[in-house]
Structure 1
């Protein structure tokens, strides 16, 4: 029997398409009833592995429903933590990891002595090296289907959310005097979280230790810039007239009017730090924050964004041919998945505008990274603040 002419849930012969996949009317109706009523089922045998096969009259409702989700049935969209997700993505998130916040485990002891940022860079490198030695978490659904790279990154964003935000909007303090060491510690802990996130991507775990470091160094700060903006927008909303950005996991600031505070730095140098960083903040507001607010990227688009930042190998030297080929393949597949997501899940046929705007944003994140490196260099040259240790990681 042709696989295109069978129900992907129960296996009976059918040429019908319901809920955006090949499925019989019985299975699609069952799924629709469950979704509409938000029903919760229990596995008949308790092992969540009941076989769904043609000819059976009484299916296990739990396993049948999970099979519907695993083959991609979609009738409407759900919202989790103010982020748009399809029911399929929601269930994958529930089946697999949404880890508890462990932000404090990642905190580095960072100090500013004189005008120099000081921390144990060897300890940081050892922590990340140990993370890279860990085994890949096998991301499969209940029926043994492996997740695609895009789906792994969608889950990874949920993981990073628990690392980068520890409370609700009401728990986050708005502070227009930015504690410099708090924000710098947030960056370093973000780097550790991003290293953990990368080990949840199967393709990343297959490359050598040296190549993992190459990709991390090229990726982490740009990813941090994107994620801090992405989470700030989803915490404070797209309609909030104030341009509020997270400083760390429990503090935020109005990005364009803030000043820097740090007990170990004198008032004159604090003023210079604020002045030298202000153009960078304005560039971020105009070219990253505001366009992202207008686009209101959902989690799938955010995952696509991160894949482009990570696996687009332009200007990355030191990768083997096999790794470069892997990167190209991941980019191609994620492009196809995004197309299917727009057409079949969001029902957007003319999505060129959104993809074009995402591409512009990726360029702006790269440009922001370059400009910050220039600010770090100028700050050191004029003896305002020496942040070269972060630059050297």
Structure 2
């Protein structure tokens, strides 16, 4: 299998939309090689991930090739590496030499992390109404359950104002943390609305929650901005809180209480993060302009991971495989019967690029990153708590 991770692949009209190998074949109305067209009932992007998960290795380096007239004749001297740029952007997000500048931030907010965790425990400790796993395996309704839960979640976060902060600054950081305090509780309540989640034992809920909430936090904030301003918005931005949005521009602050050098130091650490959000998450998501069905699909792919998990009952793994396969089929039915779009592989490919980009961002965010330092300053260091983000459960 020749190709690369969907997060960094540059596709063209003569390449397989799944693995990026040279191909002029068309299967199911989509450009694809024979290997990737093998499983018609599965999402093509998922097909590629399944190939990797069973041990197949990429044979070609990560390059964007400039193709000659003969598609089989690649001029090696003309190949352009895109790995360095991608890896540099990702690696800049963590393990940086952060100066004490953050310590001079004013601390005007109060976040009781212990109280937040206690409330989450109360939500997950509620009596489990949906306890029969066998029945859940028979019901193929997870896609609809997730969509309904997302709709309820979105409605609870009403927009009181559509004001847009011109650039990220200290005030934006504080509003972000205050919003997170509300967001994290609503996310726990949202998941409890999903029978496939609420039927899990408490400890397993916490494990899944740690995996899901950081992913959903990033995805929802970007999606709401695209949803409100549309795919033709001429500036990148994200949802900030009930009172508006913030443009994804270089960090800047004019507070007289912070030195110019302090602002520059913080900006050096924040701006790579902002650039990553724009290039790898906001822009591709804006291009797709996803519906709530597609957002629900991404949420399911993250929530019911098929990665190896510990301390979970065997039924969990069996059910997750079924839920992931079923969600793929339901999304295909949505494209064919509702959206009336038979050529949808490119959309799914772009959605999965966003999916993996968010996962990479979470992987780079830890207590030693700029995010961890800021949260430590505001005494809200989630990385040292029971709900610390987890990329792989």
Please tell me the TM-score bracket, short chain as reference.
0.5 to 0.7
Quote the residue 1:311 is aligned against.
304
Deviation at 1:188, TM superposition (A): 2.5
Is 2:135 the partner of 1:132?
no
Measure how far apart 1:205 and its partner are: 0.8
Q: Which residue of 1 aligns with 2:49?
A: none
Partner of 1:58: none
CA shift at 1:378, angstroms?
A: 8.2
Instruction: Please identify the structure whose Cα radius of gyration is greater.
Output: 1
Q: How is 1:1-393 mapped onto 2 (pairs within 5 angstroms)?
A: 119-135=111-127, 148-167=141-160, 171-176=161-166, 178=169, 179=171, 180-259=173-252, 268-314=261-307, 316-373=309-366, 376=369, 380=373, 385=377, 389-392=381-384, 393=387
CA distance in 2, matches of 1:197, 1:114: 37
The 8 Å contact of residues 140 and 323 in structure 2, kept in 1 or not, is answered as no
When residues 387 and 281 of structure 1 are mapped into structure 2, their CA distance, relative to the original with a 3 A threshold, is farther
Shift of 1:264: 8.4
CA deviation digits over 1:89-139, x for unaligned, max 9?
Answer: xxxxxxxxxxxxxxxxxxxxxxx986699732221111101111235689x
**Partners of 1:131 and 1:309 in 2: how far apart?**
21
**Displacement after TM superposition at 1:233 (Å):** 0.6
Structure 1 residue 249, shift from structure 2 partner = 1.9
Give the C-alpha shift of residue 262 in structure 1: 7.9
Residue deviations 1:7-37, cap 9 Å, x none? xxxxxxxxxxxxxxxxxxxxxxxxxxxxxxx
d(CA) in 2 for partners of 1:209 and 1:356?
34
In 1, Cα distance between equivalents of 2:209 and 2:264? 33
Shift, 1:263, TM fit: 9.3
CA 1:136 to 1:357, structure 2 compared with 1: closer, same or farther past 3 Å? farther
Instruction: Pick closer, same or farther for the CA change 1:220–1:279 going to 2, 3 Å.
Output: same
Change (3 A) 1:260 1:187: farther
Shift of 1:164: 3.3
Q: Distance in 2 between matches of 1:231 and 1:378?
A: 22
Tell me, yes or no, if the aligned pair for 1:280 and 1:372 is still in contact at 8 Å.
no
1:372 to 1:300, Cα distance in 2 relative to 1, 3 A: same
Preserved CA contact (<8 Å) 1:225 1:365: yes
Q: Note closer, same or farther for the CA distance 1:379–1:373 as it changes in structure 2 (3 Å cut).
A: closer
User: How large is the Cα RMSD of the aligned pairs?
Assistant: 3.2
Higher RCO structure, 1 or 2 (CA under 8 Å, sep 6+): 2
Q: Which runs of 5+ in 1 are unaligned?
A: 1-111, 139-145
Q: Secondary structure at the match of 2:342?
A: coil
> Alpha carbons of 1:192 and 1:379: their partners in 2 closer, same or farther (altered >3 Å)?
closer
Deviation for aligned residue 1:314 = 2.3
5+ unaligned residues in a row in structure 2: which ranges?
1-101, 131-138, 388-393
The 8 Å contact of residues 173 and 251 in structure 1, kept in 2 or not, is answered as: yes
Deviations 1:289-346 (A, max 9, x none): 0000110100101100100111113264433322122211111111111111111111
The offset of 1:225, in angstroms, is 0.2
Secondary structure of the corresponding residue to residue 369 of structure 2:
helix
Tell me, yes or no, if the aligned pair for 2:297 and 2:331 is still in contact at 8 Å: yes
Tell me the CA shift for residue 201 of structure 1.
Answer: 0.3
Q: Using the alignment, how far apart are the partners of 1:119 and 1:163 within structure 2? A: 21
Tell me the TM-score normalised to structure 1 length: 0.62
- Work out whether residues 226 and 365 of structure 1, in 8 Å CA contact, stay in contact via their aligned partners in 2: yes
Contact 1:313 1:327 in 2 (8 A): yes
Is the CA contact (8 Å cut-off) linking 2:152 and 2:190 kept in structure 1? yes
The normalised TM-score by structure 2 is: 0.62
Q: How far does residue 385 in structure 1 lie from its aligned partner after superposition?
A: 5.0
C-alpha distance 147-313 of structure 1, shift in aligned 2 (>3 A): closer
- Please give the per-residue CA displacement for 1:34-70, whole angstroms capped at 9, x wherever unaligned: xxxxxxxxxxxxxxxxxxxxxxxxxxxxxxxxxxxxx
Q: CA offset at residue 183 of structure 1?
A: 0.6
Q: What SS class does the counterpart of residue 253 from structure 1 fall into?
A: strand
SS of 1:373 mapped into structure 2 = coil
